[in-house]
Structure 1
Amino acid sequence: LFWLPDNGVVEMSPTTALLGHGGWADGGYGDFWNSTVDLNDYHLIAELTDLPETQRLLKMRELAAQACDHFQHWLPLALQAYDHVYCLTHVPPFAESCWHEGEISDQYHLPHFASKLSGDALRSIMLLYPEKKLTVLCGHTHSSGEANVADNITVLTGKAEYGKPEIQRILEVT
């Protein structure tokens, strides 16, 4: 068992690696300022409790930037050594991978359920490695879906129900 942010690139096979970071929604997609979404996270996560909306958004972006920095450092190193990288993150990094009941989340939910900072970083890095493959495994939305956001980027968003974890699928690593 590894705490991925502290372990950089983890080899899964001679051609496949794993890296990850918890990630945070950053308000970058959708319409944060007109959203009335009030997540439990904003009341239960110490970094976000009791913050006015403007300060909460700044804190979300600060935390999301840490994940973005992590990916910008480690993903290029992984891609230099491996053909396929699995990237684990809690929050979907692309609007296209932020699912709610079979549909992409609306403009009022996207700011709270996805990270544009991470998505932009992953997309720009993968443009430099068109022959490599990135599979992002994420959750947070409680709905599942699969999105091919670029020729070499696939995102698998897992579903969840509080207190009822379940296996989403078995991945074969070669």
Structure 2
Amino acid sequence: MVKLEIVKRNSNEKIVYLSSILFLIILVWIMTLIDPSGTVFLIIGFLALLTVFAIFKIIPNIGIKKHTRVGELILNETWLEVKNVIGQGKFDIKDLDKLKIEVFGYDGQSRTGSSYALEGTGMHPVDGLENKLSYLYQGRPYKYEFYVETIPQSEDLKRIIKKWTSYNKHIRANIVR
């Protein structure tokens, strides 16, 4: 069994980046009024911007929290349980139609190369939020984005998905490697 957070992505990171850049532009502009050569201030501004980027992007789990918890998703080898603000329910896997699960990675996992969820190529840290689950139950669609925090959670999730696909052949599972 694995317990995961159902999440909603925050936009705080973009706000911090934009406000930091705006602050640094204003700071550099003021400093160039004081000292027209401004070389020292440009270097300080660049280093400050690089520091902000490193804290929030390169070093995982230290920066701004990129999501808000809106519920809990509990997965077992034969059922899944959803607990969120709308309500809760426990569903047997064989009773779900069009069950689709996409696992992109856990928080801090490094991805290399190019993928549908990556921009460009090269090394990319994953924030654990690109994971999705959708299904139909009694004709009603359900969609969730969930957060995978650790390697053990990721491994448990992969093991459960493997059991699900042997239990129900109509499950679409996509685990990015």
Length-normalised TM-score, structure 2:
0.26
Which structure shows the bigger proportion of residues in strand conformation?
2
Length-normalised TM-score, structure 1:
0.26
Q: Which has the larger radius of gyration?
A: 2
